[in-house]
């Protein structure tokens, strides 16, 4: 049996805040188009949102409250992460769209970054069944 690393291990070369923000985003990206819309509330306004493959919703204020990282630090980190080359195999390209209820982050090269074929060259661990 073979196991492949779905998140590029080269993110550990980033500073800790960038690593945490990127991991938070990567773990929340949709791996397929949503079939039913998610419901978000902003004040008294109800919003329906269909996230597509490679998209996630990121609420900066909520993230900052949970992690105790400042809003300005998170915003500057997001600017850095929009177009980031981690190594020769991994290049992060994101589009960030501001909405009233948070940021819609789209990983532009989702399939390229998370395909097991591109990851298997460097990140394969073999386990023997007993």
pLDDT tens track for 43-90: 788 888 899 999 999 999 999 999 999 999 999 999 999 998 887 777
More confident residue, 90 or 7: 90
Query: For the purposes of burial, counting CB atoms within 10 Å of the CB of 90, is it exposed (0-12), middle (13-18) or buried (19 or more)?
Result: buried
Q: Enter the pTM of the model.
A: 0.77
User: Would you say 101 and 47 are in contact if contact means Cβ atoms under 8 Å apart?
Assistant: yes
């Amino acid at each position: 049996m073979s196991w492949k690393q779905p998140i590029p291990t080269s993110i550990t070369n980033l500073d800790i805040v960038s690593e945490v923000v990127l991991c938070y985003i990567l773990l929340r990206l949709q791996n397929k188009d949503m079939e039913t819309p998610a419901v978000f509330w902003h004040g008294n306004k109800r919003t329906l949102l269909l996230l597509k493959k490679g998209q996630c919703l990121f609420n900066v204020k909520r993230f900052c409250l949970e992690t105790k990282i400042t809003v300005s630090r998170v915003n500057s980190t997001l600017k850095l992460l929009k177009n980031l080359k981690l190594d020769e195999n991994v290049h992060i390209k994101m589009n960030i769209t501001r909405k009233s209820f948070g940021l819609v982050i789209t990983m532009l090269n989702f399939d390229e970054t998370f395909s097991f074929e591109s990851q298997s060259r460097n990140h394969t661990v073999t386990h023997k069944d007993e």
